Amino acid sequence: MANAPVNITVTGAAGNIGYALLFRIASGALLGPEQRVNLRLLEIPQAVKAAEGTAMELFDSAFSTLGSVDIFDDPKQAFEGANIAFLVGSMPRKAGMERSDLLSANGGIFGPQGEALGAGAADDIKVLVVGNPANTNALIAASHAGDIPASRFTAMTRLDHNRALAQLAAKAGCHVSEIDKVTIWGNHSTTQYPDLTHATIKGEPITDILADRAWVEDDFIPTVAKRGAAIIEARGASSAASAASAAIDHVRDWCLGTTSAWTSAAVMSDGSYGVPEGVISSFPCTAENGEWKIVQGLEIDDFSRAKIDASAAELAEEKNAVAAMGLI
Ligand SMILES: NC(=O)C1=CN([C@@H]2O[C@H](COP(=O)(O)OP(=O)(O)OC[C@H]3O[C@@H](n4cnc5c(N)ncnc54)[C@H](O)[C@@H]3O)[C@@H](O)[C@H]2O)C=CC1
Ligand SMILES: O=C([O-])CC(=O)C(=O)O
């Protein structure tokens, strides 16, 4: 293996997503079969023993791409030298809760972690926030991270994107790999806007499917936006393996480049498409040379405009709420 090992910190390492994510990273699914990775696991003190159990299993898997595994209960140590950070550790919601109910419960975690990243992470650090409410937690972390550019803090809407691909493939009777140009706009919450306006299947527009407004508006959009709650209802716990898989997709594309016309990622808004600057919102994005870029110039119809505006307004409200709590 020619390249130096990449240091990857995963918070919430003993949790459900952590358990699915760590083995995918260690097996080479993130950065390929030629890149060795060193894992740095962060947990709260009470869960360190469980993280040690996971580390034993990682060791027993004898992955050719795994260098070392270290476990920490101190964010400063865990993020020291990190090239990539998956911020997963936080409380998941239970049945009947909205993700916004987690704002105060989890918001307090991300300021100190942002600070620790700022103090010790490597210059090329890339951060994906998975813990909910992911967009605003990413904003909190970014606002405490000192010199790290805000563009390095992203939140995960790739699971919503993948859910949208799966729903459209089922409707159209095609394979997910044949679909392109689907977008998740806004917040990783029920206000998100899964947008099929520009979608293609095998390169062709999906005119007939878009004409079925009842399916698009009353079935597709709410199914994707409320899928998290449906999983909680069915599993008795929030999505874990699909969330880990989406986290791999997001960071792999960020590091190695997108391979489709675009994907969805929540990045710092620069005001594109009328989303207020300074919130972390999902956009159609490409990644090249380790940088996300928002796809520009898409036509936005009135229906899409209203949906994008509603989710952007929720992000602005969340930003105001955490500002009032002194978290940013
Ligand atoms: N953005 C997305 O698409 C998705 C986000 N999520 C969110 O991911 C988060 C994690 O979910 P699960 O793994 O299922 O939860 P979990 O409860 O199984 O695991 C969370 C882990 O985080 C640890 N933790 C708590 N505070 C911590 C801290 N300050 N530092 C380090 N570790 C800490 C806990 O000890 C626990 O082991 C939740 O907030 C959930 O809502 C879940 C699915 C999708
Ligand atoms: O819904 C939840 O609380 C977990 C989550 O974010 C998802 O599955 O999209």
**What is the tens place of the pLDDT at every residue in 31-62?**
999 999 999 999 999 999 999 999 999 999 99
Is residue 267 within 8 A of residue 250, CB to CB? The reply is: no
Confidence of residue 95 (pLDDT cuts 50, 70, 90): confident
Task: Give the per-residue pLDDT at 123.
Answer: 97
Question: CA 287 to CA 265: how far, in whole Å?
Answer: 10
Q: Are residues 36 and 133 in the same domain?
A: yes
Of the candidates 74, 62, 71, the one whose C-alpha atom is nearest the C-alpha of residue 28 is 62
Catalytic sites, residue numbers: 188
Note whether 167 and 314 are same-domain residues: yes
Q: What percentage of residues in the chain have a pLDDT greater than 70?
A: 99
Whether 131 lines ligand 1, by a CB cut-off of 6 Å, is yes
With 0-12 / 13-18 / 19 or more C-beta atoms within 10 angstroms meaning exposed / middle / buried, residue 122 is middle
Tell me if 215 is assigned to some domain: yes
How many structural domains are present in the chain? 2
Q: What is the CATH number of the domain that holds 209?
A: 3.90.110.10
Q: Residue 182: name the closest of 135, 274, 39, 169 by CA.
A: 169
In-domain check, residue 100: yes
Say whether both 210 and 301 belong to one domain: yes
Does 24 belong to an annotated binding site?
Answer: no
pLDDT mean over 230-252: 97
Nearest-ligand number for the alpha carbon of 132? 1
Cβ 266 vs Cβ 157: under 8 Å = yes
- Burial of 207 from C-beta contacts in 10 A (0-12 / 13-18 / 19+): exposed
Q: Is the pLDDT score of 192 beyond 90?
A: yes
Question: Domain check: are 206 and 239 in the same one?
Answer: yes
pLDDT at 251: 98
Q: Is 294 helix (H, G, I), strand (E, B) or coil?
A: strand
Separation between Cα atoms, residue 81 and residue 121, nearest integer Å: 5
Q: What is the distance between the alpha carbons of residues 102 and 318, in angstroms, rounded to a whole number? A: 11
pLDDT at 101: 84
pTM above the 0.90 mark?
Answer: yes
pLDDT of residue 92: 83
Q: Are residues 282 and 187 part of one domain?
A: yes
Same domain, 13 and 33: yes
Query: In 276-328, where does DSSP find H-type helix?
Result: 302-324
Secondary structure letter of residue 195 according to DSSP: E
How many CA atoms lie less than 13 Å away from 119 in the CB half-sphere? 13
Task: Give the Å distance between the CA of 162 and the centre of ligand 2.
Answer: 13
Asked whether residue 1 is assigned to any structural domain, the reply reads: no
What ipTM does this complex have? 0.99
Domain stops at, among 133, 155, 177? 155
Last residue of a domain, one of 103, 138, 155: 155
User: Which structural domain, as residue segments, surrounds residue 255?
Assistant: 158-319
Three-class SS of residue 237? Answer: coil
CATH of the domain at 63: 3.40.50.720
- Are 78 and 163 in the same domain? no
Instruction: Specify whether 168 is located in the same domain as 303.
Output: yes
CA of 234 to the centre of ligand 1 (A): 19
Residue 94: pLDDT over 90: no
Of ligand 1's atoms, which has the minimum distance to the CA of residue 109? 29
* Residue 327 resides in a domain: no
CA of 12 to the centre of ligand 1 (A): 6
Judge whether 326 lies within some domain. no
The residue out of 111, 137, 155 marking a domain boundary is: 155
Residue 328 resides in a domain: no
**CB of residue 161 inside a 6 A radius of ligand 2:** no
Give yes or no for a contact between 265 and 157, defined as CB atoms under 8 angstroms apart.
yes
